Amino acid sequence: MSVATKQLRLSPKRRLKNSGRRNPLVGLIAWITALLFVSPVLWMMITSFHSEADAATNPPSFFAPLTLDAYAQFFGAASGANPWPPLINSAMASVFSTILVLLLAMPAAYALSIKPIKKWTDVLFFLLSTKMLPIVAAALPLYIFANFSGMLDNIWFLIIMYTSMNLPIAVWMMRSFLAEVPVEMLEAAQLDGAGLIRTLSQVVAPVATPGIAATGLICFIFSWNELLLARVLTGVVSGTAPVFLTGFVSSQGLFLAQLCAASVVVSLPVLIAGFAAQDKLVQGLSLGAVK
């Protein structure tokens, strides 16, 4: 597909040795950068364990006494609202839409990369162009449709919309991953008389696993984060965690510690998934070149 791939074809797939010795200066710069980038996250976590009075001071009270108050508030003490249903809704919306995306994107990416149909760049371009539609402008038609079809406040409608939101990106990413599957393997499968589903599940999927995992994780994150459609299309039953978060943070009253606690809880699933899968992500994003 590109220069890089062709070069790789020639060379045995081998990881480039990192430039030998450890360099203390590089380490120092990297550590300073990392701390700079993570400091807002750390500050969010520290503040979430402070009382409201200690949260908003100047200079900041780094070592103020720790308390779980803000978390207790989030888990119901503040308003009696239970954050679990929104968290579960978010999990459902993200997981199911991601599964749907992968199921639809795999064959599509296969058609576009392994045995490219004619004008595949046009199809790819069309798919990406759908991402140019501003979601803000689509929200009203979607609301009208949901209202008339009885799909308002239905998590499955949100799942369908999230699938549609992530599908173009997924097809686009997976196309590059699948292009790395050796043609010989596919021909061998064809000789064995394997159909599309068997080829995909038994030949393509195992080879492209890191790529599929990376795509899945990114779709999961984007679905989990979505706020605008969730706010317009959900109601009392299917509200998602970001909607709950913005509703929980009252604009009248002292709220900094509660805001931080709520942000930590709502971000936690993504943080955990991201940290756990970061190696897969790097591997997958390297377009299948590293195994």
Map the footprint of another protein across residues 89-148, applying CB under 8 A: 104-105, 107-108, 110-145, 147-148
- Rounded distance between C-alpha atoms, residue 113 and residue 108, angstroms: 9
Chain residues 11-40 in contact with another protein, contact rule CB under 8 A: 11, 14-24, 26-27, 29-31, 33-35, 37-40
Closer to another protein at the Cβ: 139 or 189? 139
Q: Smallest distance from the beta carbon of 98 to another protein, in angstroms?
A: 14
Closer to another protein at the Cβ: 191 or 236? 236
| Tokens standing for residue 81 | 């609202």
Closer to another protein at the Cβ: 185 or 289? 289
Chain residues 48-77 in contact with another protein, contact rule CB under 8 A: 52-53, 55-60
Chain residues 259-288 in contact with another protein, contact rule CB under 8 A: 259-260, 262-263, 266-267, 270-271, 273-275, 278, 281-287
Crossing angle of helices 84-113 and 205-225, in 10° steps, is 140
Q: Does 84 bind another protein (CB under 8 A)?
A: no
Q: Does 247 bind another protein (CB under 8 A)?
A: yes
- Rounded distance between C-alpha atoms, residue 141 and residue 158, angstroms: 14
Task: Indicate the residue type of 284.
Answer: G
Contacts for 108 with CB less than 8 Å, ≥ 6 apart? 171, 174
Closer to another protein at the Cβ: 27 or 206? 27
Phi and psi at 111, nearest 5°, equal -65, -30
Q: Mask: binding to another protein, 152-191, rule CB under 8 A, as x and -?
A: xxx-xx--xx-xx--xxx-x-x--x--x---x--------
Task: Single out the residue of 63, 191, 193, 252 in contact with another protein (rule: CB under 8 A).
Answer: 252
Q: Smallest distance from the beta carbon of 127 to another protein, in angstroms?
A: 6
Torsion angle of the four alpha carbons 54, 59, 64, 68, in this order, in degrees rounded to the nearest 10: 40
Closer to another protein at the Cβ: 98 or 283? 283
- Rounded distance between C-alpha atoms, residue 7 and residue 207, angstroms: 19
Q: Are 105 and 124 in contact (CB under 8 A)?
A: no
Q: Are 49 and 67 in contact (CB under 8 A)?
A: yes
Q: Does 258 bind another protein (CB under 8 A)?
A: no
Q: Does 232 bind another protein (CB under 8 A)?
A: yes
Q: Smallest distance from the beta carbon of 269 to another protein, in angstroms?
A: 9
The distance from CA 228 to its chain's CA centroid, rounded to whole angstroms, is 16
Chain residues 201-220 in contact with another protein, contact rule CB under 8 A: none
Q: Smallest distance from the beta carbon of 190 to another protein, in angstroms?
A: 11
Element (H, E) at 6: helix 3-10
Q: Smallest distance from the beta carbon of 250 to another protein, in angstroms?
A: 5
Q: Which of 213, 211, 212 is nearest to 286 (CA)?
A: 211
- Rounded distance between C-alpha atoms, residue 239 and residue 90, angstroms: 8
Q: Does 231 bind another protein (CB under 8 A)?
A: yes
Q: How many residues bind another protein (CB under 8 A)?
A: 158
Distances (CA, A) of 132 to 63, 150, 274: 47, 28, 27
